Structure 1
């Protein structure tokens, strides 16, 4: 095996590692409300989500093409650049997961790659128009669009079912949540799994294994689908608790409305090749149901903390990606990549060990939300 082959192998392994963290980080986007309303048991919910993420990853490659060819100049990207970008995104993912903050895995990945590319070849190597139109604008608008759709949806649902007795009404909405949550999981697979496909494809182009503009090979699609499905099954219980209990005291009708809105927005964005943050969409949808339901409790302090994390995700992961590139490049060659890889693995282990002391599990994810990971919430009544 040559030095380039060894680096390529590490890049692919790191990319699949990111896909795994993406899976457990974003499980809450699809299943938090269904778990909290007890429409699905926690382990069943993440198993269903895992299978549908796997299926969704095979349905489209438009987002993968955006990541591989639409954000940075593939002609100046090297394997070290791709690896450094992945390192930045994984470290940001682990940090926000540990804190229970539903930040965007997608933007962490994009920020890491952009930061590493700028460190290697300067700002001119970034396709700023593509970054703005395919990433930043959708990131800004998607929570508001999803929130509006969810708010209108929950208002209409309550108007149409106000005369239905509580028992049959609640049972019907919990059954509806099974379908709506499943659609979010399928949509998540069509959008988020493709980002890692795009990064691996970018690495293959940089290595000369594929020509510029090439589509993701079948083995890349399959391996990314499996990695995100496994991560989903592990379940990010900290993030699930924050989304399910930290924003709005949610009922089954709100859960179905928020999930339906999320699925619709994500699937539309996938069709246009937008690298959307499913976290932004899910959060906007949940907040929308709080605003749209009269008397609902909305925890705006938690929402503000999440918004701050979103603002920092792109620049923070870009800085870490740039630092990882400078470190690997400074050490030089394959050895530099190996050293950063070891540091990355040790960092991941440290986060995992620290998380065991304050674990959120399938058994306690539905316990009363006390703000043990995020400070006690500030609540208000939606008008």
Structure 2
């Protein structure tokens, strides 16, 4: 019992660390466009994002329940606590590596791939809940394409609405709109991303037989929301630089269109209890907006590097988690 309690406490600490890192790793995506167009100063944008992330994290729990039971059944794992700890170590390592190099990779892919890899390492492929796992994979894979289409449509509508307007005056006014869209973006980020750590902690509590249902306890919600908010307040300037300028040259109208379309998609996923990659959705929305503006205006070489990172994240994290599990299992 002492070892189980120790592992559960370690999981809670690492899950909150994951949420903290997720905060400064992924918040950059939510505020990158508003910072790059100078609608908001970086520090102001980060503080606003921290508050909105915290509020969003406390508002919903559906995604957390999906994470806690749809990838693997925690009741079926004999070494459940070690599996979860190995998954967290793997996801945190990958997030720090990609943050260091300024690559906007997916924390969601990292975490979900890590859970699957550690669970398979512990009990074989039969341990996966294939129905739920495939549903999550479909959401992760389809959402970027929806975001590209959404960004293209919203930007096309903006072009029609602003057709006969003075571009300089319009951009000046749209900067004020960007403040609202950046706040909305940060709120939706909290509603989806912060819940992943909540789901992990709930899995650990079930595996340790400290709770029997999949309800997300209040202290778990507050702790995860706080960790996300604190991480957000640190900011991720390297990723802001990549998302906010290296994919395409962003003007206020482009930023507002990207924020609005991606926020709608992320929030829609939250409402149907599906985890999506906010990184994928926001970056894809920017590509869609750029395509509506001018296809050649998108720096597709940078976009290809981002897409390549998306593709390799899940298998790499699954492999790392599988290795970490075997090491932890050997000693614990």
TM-score range, shorter chain: over 0.9
Count residues in correspondence.
Answer: 330
Inter-partner Cα distance in structure 2 for 1:64 and 1:118: 21
Partner of 1:139: 140
Inter-partner Cα distance in structure 1 for 2:312 and 2:103: 12
Report the TM-score when normalising by structure 2.
Answer: 0.97
Partner of 1:180: 181
Inter-partner Cα distance in structure 2 for 1:186 and 1:69: 25
Inter-partner Cα distance in structure 1 for 2:306 and 2:174: 28
1:147: how far off? 1.3
Q: Secondary structure at the match of 2:298?
A: strand
Partner of 2:199: 198
Partner of 1:372: none
Larger relative helix fraction: 2
Inter-partner Cα distance in structure 1 for 2:230 and 2:245: 25
Partner of 2:83: 81
Inter-partner Cα distance in structure 1 for 2:59 and 2:73: 26
The answer to whether the Cα contact below 8 Å between 1:201 and 1:216 also exists between their aligned partners in 2 is yes
Partner of 1:342: none
Greater relative contact order structure (CA < 8 Å, 6+ sep): 2
Q: Which runs of 5+ in 2 are unaligned?
A: none
**Superposed CA offset, 1:265-323 (max 9, x none):** 00000011111111110011000110001376211111111111111111111111111
Give runs of ≥4 in structure 1 deviating > 3 Å: none
Inter-partner Cα distance in structure 2 for 1:261 and 1:156: 11
Distance 1:163-1:295 versus aligned 2 partners, 3 A rule:
farther
Inter-partner Cα distance in structure 2 for 1:296 and 1:205: 51
Matches within 5 A, 1:1-383: 2-77=2-77, 78-133=80-135, 135-211=136-212, 213-294=213-294, 297-331=297-331, 333=332
Inter-partner Cα distance in structure 2 for 1:326 and 1:45: 42
The answer to whether the Cα contact below 8 Å between 1:248 and 1:296 also exists between their aligned partners in 2 is no
The answer to whether the Cα contact below 8 Å between 2:98 and 2:105 also exists between their aligned partners in 1 is yes
Q: Secondary structure at the match of 1:273?
A: coil
Q: Which runs of 5+ in 1 are unaligned?
A: 334-383
Report the TM-score when normalising by structure 1.
Answer: 0.84
Q: Secondary structure at the match of 2:254?
A: helix
Inter-partner Cα distance in structure 2 for 1:294 and 1:71: 40
The answer to whether the Cα contact below 8 Å between 1:31 and 1:45 also exists between their aligned partners in 2 is yes
The answer to whether the Cα contact below 8 Å between 1:15 and 1:200 also exists between their aligned partners in 2 is yes
Inter-partner Cα distance in structure 2 for 1:100 and 1:261: 24
The answer to whether the Cα contact below 8 Å between 1:249 and 1:296 also exists between their aligned partners in 2 is no
RMSD after superposition:
1.2
